[in-house]
Amino acid sequence: MNGELHSLVCLKVVPKSEEVSVDRESKTLDRGHARSEINPPDMNALEMALALKDRHGGRVSLLSMGPPFVAPMLRAALAMGADHAYLLSDRAFGGADTLATSLTLAAAIRKIGDVDLVLCGEESSDGATAQVPPGIAAWLDLPQATYAHSVAFDDTRDHILVVREVHDGEETLDVPLPAVLSVKVSTNEPRFMDTARLVCLRANDPVTTWTAADLDVDPGHLGGAGSPTSVTGLGEVAGAGSGRRREVLKGTPEEEAHLLYERITEFLRSAGMPARGG
Ligand SMILES: Cc1cc2nc3c(=O)[nH]c(=O)nc-3n(C[C@H](O)[C@H](O)[C@H](O)COP(=O)(O)OP(=O)(O)OC[C@H]3O[C@@H](n4cnc5c(N)ncnc54)[C@H](O)[C@@H]3O)c2cc1C
């Protein structure tokens, strides 16, 4: 690492998940009555960056793509101890899928420059694809570690040791910097904002807003125009436990696999879905 540690945290502002409903007519999320919040795992990513700053010094930048109402939330995150915030706000960014979102965020990170560590949440509470952090790493051609729950520097501070959650345990990765991390939700306790700091921010606003014209990206790659995917339908899933049946399949592994195949095929047919294969 050259000089001080510069961490950048990607914060997505999302509707509070418990207040969002599905509009059955339009098959879209009805966010009109929902309050907004910073995506919860992003707060864990911010706390991880601030804890690194406490231990090693340096600075923390924030980056968000969203409408202008995101700016006050960035100020609240700045009051927790971050140093500068960048808001990407332009109608041209609207309707972005994960490809266009990660491309846009990556272009801004490139423009900000000198970033050692990009921290994201593990996934958003609305889109919930978990594709944006790996997307950013791919566009910037950087190494990545997902589902991180703790980090530490090695002696050289050229690498970071990342403990990440895997299916049946955890693994430690030695990742060269600069790098992109996605941070596991609830991995730490985000600190409260410092209200005195918030008052100071009002006098000297460290939120920079960039539009599409500020980024070195072909407009055809932004927003809906640059998004090969779109959400065409939404459905509600019955709550856990409703209509749940339990059956233990007994036999040799081959017999069990065959019985499982039969049960899945029966279920798909009863749900009116085509069951393929033999
Ligand atoms: C119900 C629903 C379903 C969707 N399904 C898909 C889909 O299947 N495929 C698809 O391509 N798009 C989908 N989208 C669109 C998707 O929400 C947007 O592309 C979004 O901008 C990024 O994807 P995500 O929310 O899944 O992010 P994730 O990849 O889950 O987010 C991970 C992290 O990336 C960072 N991040 C993500 N977005 C931003 C942002 N705007 N600003 C700053 N940091 C950010 C945050 O740190 C976040 O914690 C869906 C949207 C909705 C509402």
> Domain 6-226 is in which class?
alpha beta
In the chain, what are the domain boundaries?
A: 6-226, 237-278
Percent above pLDDT 90 for the chain:
73
| Residue 131 CA, closest ligand 1 atom number | 29
pLDDT class for 121, splitting at 50, 70, 90? Answer: very high
Ligand 1 within 6 A of 229 CB?
Answer: yes
pLDDT more than 70, % of the chain? 94
Mean predicted confidence (pLDDT) in 66-86: 96
pLDDT digits (tens, 9 = 90+) for 127-160: 999 999 999 999 999 999 999 999 998 777 899 9
Among protein residues, the one with the nearest Cα to ligand 1's atom 24 is 127
Q: Is residue 27 scored above 90 in pLDDT?
A: no
**pLDDT category, 241, cuts 50, 70, 90?**
low
Q: What tens digit of pLDDT does each residue of 187-240 get?
A: 999 999 998 888 888 777 899 999 999 999 999 999 999 999 988 877 767 666
CA of 10 to the centre of ligand 1 (A): 12
DSSP secondary structure, the chain, as one string: --SS-EEEEE--EEE-GGG-EEETTTTEEE-TTPPEEE-HHHHHHHHHHHHHHHHH--EEEEEEES-GGGHHHHHHHHTTT--EEEEE--GGGTT--HHHHHHHHHHHHHHH---SEEEEES--SSS----HHHHHHHHHT--EEEEEEEEEE-TTSSEEEEEEEETTEEEEEEEESSEEEEE-TTSS-PPPP-HHHHHHHHHS--EEEE-GGGS-S-GGGSTGGG-S-------PPPPTTTT-------S-HHHHHHHHHHHHHHHHHHTT------
In this predicted model, what pLDDT tens digit does every residue of 248-268 receive, in sequence order?
Answer: 898 999 999 999 999 999 988
The closest-lying atom of ligand 1 relative to the alpha carbon of residue 135 is 29
Ligand 1 mean position, distance from CA 104 (Å): 12
Nearest CA to ligand 1 atom 32: 123
Average pLDDT, the chain: 91
Pocket test for ligand 1, best of 27, 132, 210, 221 (most atoms within 8 A of CB): 132
**Ligand 1 centroid distance, CA of 263 (Å):** 34
Determine the Cα–Cα distance for residues 219 and 37; give it in Å rounded to an integer.
29
Measured from the CB, is residue 29 less than 6 Å from ligand 1? Answer: yes
Question: Would you state the pLDDT for residue 277?
Answer: 59
